[in-house]
């Protein structure tokens, strides 16, 4: 029977060599990142996204109500600002002497008191328009008319394309002692091409 060969010094069995090689290999590749993980890191952040915290019952509904309330408040703010701009525009396009409340202008714009007469300045020169307006106002007062309409146009047919007579007539109205207030007419009654005038009562 053949005897097994004695293992000489320094020689290792296949099993022993494999174990040591595996240990050495693990030490060598300990810091190596797997290809799949490296790819994932190159595409995005290496930080993990924390899981979403559980929401208490009713919290999402309250959040939705809060968002809806904010939206309503935002709409209300826009609406209030729109009203403010409208009010600023109306005040800019109107006039009232000291002591005449704003509601009088609003009533005039609504047709109170009723318009009793009107004057059309189309085709007149500056001097003609001023003289015609002064006669018109005095005649209206003598007849007991409280509200009149002045048609001056918007300047579309003016050589300069500007509402010259409109601007001039409003200056004349501001300086006239019989005028209490005036404002642009509603759109259906001429809009910015006509002015409604409230006169003092004739004593």
Residue 83 burial (CB < 10 Å; 0-12/13-18/19+)? exposed
Specify the pLDDT at position 150.
97
DSSP 18-42: HHHHHHHHHHHTTTPPPHHHHHHHH
Specify the pLDDT at position 34.
60
Question: Where is 82: in which H helix or E strand?
Answer: helix 59-92
Specify the pLDDT at position 141.
94
Per the document, the length of the chain is: 203
Segment 63-83 mean pLDDT: 56
- Give the Cα separation of 88 and 167 in Å (integer): 19
Give the confidence band of 23 by pLDDT, cuts at 50, 70, 90. confident
- Give the Cα separation of 181 and 174 in Å (integer): 8
Specify the pLDDT at position 81.
45
Segment 36-50 mean pLDDT: 52
Domain 96-199 fold: Ribosomal Protein S8; Chain: A, domain 1 (3.30.1370)
Pairing of strands 94-96, 147-151: unpaired
Closest CA to 202 of 149, 148, 144, 147: 144
Q: Which residue has the higher pLDDT, 19 or 7?
A: 19
The pLDDT tens digits for 132-191 are: 999 999 999 999 999 999 999 886 666 555 678 999 999 999 999 999 999 999 998 889
Segment 48-56 mean pLDDT: 58
DSSP 123-187: T--HHHHHHHHHHHHHHHHHTT--EEEEE---STTSTTSS-HHHHHHHHHHHH-TTEEEEEEPPG
Residue 17 burial (CB < 10 Å; 0-12/13-18/19+)? exposed
pTM of the model: 0.54
Give the confidence band of 20 by pLDDT, cuts at 50, 70, 90. confident
- Name 193's Cβ contacts closer than 8 Å, sequence gap at least 6: 151, 152, 153, 154, 166, 185
Specify the pLDDT at position 126.
93
Segment 55-75 mean pLDDT: 59
The pLDDT tens digits for 77-126 are: 554 444 444 444 444 689 999 999 999 999 999 999 999 999 999 989 99
């Amino acid at each position: 029977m053949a005897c097994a060969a004695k293992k000489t010094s320094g020689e290792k069995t296949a099993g022993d060599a494999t174990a040591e090689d595996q240990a050495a290999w693990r030490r060598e590749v300990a810091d190596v990142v797997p290809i799949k993980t490296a790819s994932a890191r190159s595409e995005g952040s290496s930080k993990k996204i924390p899981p979403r915290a559980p929401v208490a019952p009713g919290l999402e509904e309250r959040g939705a109500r809060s968002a809806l309330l904010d939206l309503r408040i935002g709409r209300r703010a826009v609406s209030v600002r729109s009203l403010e701009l409208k009010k600023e525009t109306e005040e800019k396009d109107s006039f009232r002497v000291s002591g005449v409340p704003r509601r009088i202008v609003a009533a005039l714009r609504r047709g109170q008191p009723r318009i009793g007469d009107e004057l059309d300045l189309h085709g007149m020169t500056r001097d003609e328009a001023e003289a015609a307006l002064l006669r018109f106002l005095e005649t209206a007062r003598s007849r007991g008319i409280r509200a009149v309409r002045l048609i001056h146009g918007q300047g579309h047919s003016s050589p300069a394309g500007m509402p010259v007579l409109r601007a001039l007539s409003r200056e004349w109205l501001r300086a006239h002692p019989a005028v209490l207030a005036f404002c642009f007419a509603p759109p259906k009654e001429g809009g910015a091409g006509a002015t409604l005038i409230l006169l003092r009562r004739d004593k």
